[in-house]
Structure 1
């Protein structure tokens, strides 16, 4: 399986605090069936001042440590990128990393407040040739009052990533409810661990895949942790599965969303 969201790099954010912890996280992931993992520390101005250069160095260092420890886990560069007005420019400059230098990147809105002009930012990102992967919308506290925003982001071209622990109820009833709702509506593209440690928020995808399979079937559940993550790392064109189910924009918004589908027909660098 391929895990596209992890905080396994030591000392870069609120994830692994040490190399020893990172190695144990890797062992747990491999034991659960994960073979490839994107290293995606937070990038949050004012709190986690990470960028492409230091993340690449950290991935190389951890990769060398994995080889010495004979842990068969392939690592990829990425980041868990928080909302910022200049994000399209930062991605274009390469100062913040996409997933394995693809057009795809993890996009994390604030957990407790729906930011203004979020949809406009997403459209700017897509028009610039980047594809946001909306991380764990089921855990956002504003989803209940603003589920239509998630629907519109999905319709605009955002991929949807659920946290594995949400699907098995570890984040509580609300996150479980919206995980199941998104799966049942056919909106979920990816399941990822969002692991932060070897004892809390441990790595592992297999239990979530089994739970998802009961709702969407085994083939589709496997697509969420194998086929689509592989396509993302290979930078292949990938249209959100939820676009077929997403609500059409209201008449007042048709102009804002018109023509976005053609962006997925050709690749970007």
Structure 2
């Protein structure tokens, strides 16, 4: 399996604080059948600043440590980019990294409680430059939960999204699980990733998530999501089914 969103680099954000912890997390990934991880430390986050060149160095060091520890896992350098108005300029400076060195996909994170007013324009400008934004964990964004049509409008324009494994498994609560299932049902998400940070509170749960996906949506859905991760890593176009608005639950009235 391929995990396109993971905080496995040591000492750079709210993921592992030491190399030893990163190695433990890597062994857990290996036990789940994960073979490749895209490292996505927070960038332009209010609490973390991880420039492109610094991440390239950290990933090279971590891959060397895996080899020495006989861990069969490959890490690819990228970032979870907190949305900001200078994304394009910072990409041109090499400060912002796409999801793979040759790809045109960017993992973009919103604040948990909001969507900046300039988002639509920024995404349009990125797409005009040949880049495809992938919204990280929209199922955990308060605005999308309350107004899912906003996400539908973005996906209609070619924006992609990625949900978190723990959201689908129910570890982040029943409401988050329900909304995640609605996004899958409406073709409003295209990847499942771990967003793993540590061994206990925020592990991978990727294998469990694919099992839940198969139970609820069938094996074809599992194949689609796994293949999309592979296509992204190989810099190919991912599978995108026609999006639909999230179906609102009907209210029952009693007289």
5+ residue gaps in structure 1?
Answer: 248-269
Contact 1:41 1:79 in 2 (8 A): yes
Contact 2:224 2:239 in 1 (8 A): no
| 1:45-64 equivalence runs, <5 A | 45-64=45-64
Q: Offset at 1:100?
A: 1.4
Residues in 1 aligned to 2:21 and 2:201: alpha-carbon distance in whole angstroms: 11
- CA 1:234–1:54 in 2, change beyond 3 Å: closer, same or farther? same
TM-score, L = length of structure 2: 0.91
Residues in 1 aligned to 2:223 and 2:27: alpha-carbon distance in whole angstroms: 21
Q: Offset at 1:222?
A: 3.0
Q: Could you say which residue in structure 1 is the equivalent of 2:161?
A: 160
Contact 1:24 1:198 in 2 (8 A): yes
Tell me if 1:9 matches 2:9: yes
Tell me if 1:134 matches 2:132: no
Q: Could you say which residue in structure 2 is the equivalent of 1:145?
A: 146
Q: Could you say which residue in structure 2 is the equivalent of 1:99?
A: 99
- State the superposition RMSD in angstroms: 1.4
Q: Could you say which residue in structure 1 is the equivalent of 2:243?
A: 245
Q: Offset at 1:219?
A: 2.6
Q: Could you say which residue in structure 1 is the equivalent of 2:29?
A: 29
Task: Indicate the SS of the match to 2:6.
Answer: coil
Residues in 2 aligned to 1:39 and 1:204: alpha-carbon distance in whole angstroms: 17
Runs of 4+ displaced beyond 6 Å: none
5+ residue gaps in structure 2?
Answer: 246-255
Contact 2:167 2:173 in 1 (8 A): yes
Task: Indicate the SS of the match to 2:192.
Answer: strand
Q: Could you say which residue in structure 1 is the equivalent of 2:250?
A: none
**Cα displacement string for residues 80-137 of structure 1 (whole angstroms, at most 9, x for unaligned residues):** 0011101122223322111112101111111112211211111111111111111110
Contact 2:8 2:16 in 1 (8 A): yes
Task: Indicate the SS of the match to 2:85.
Answer: coil
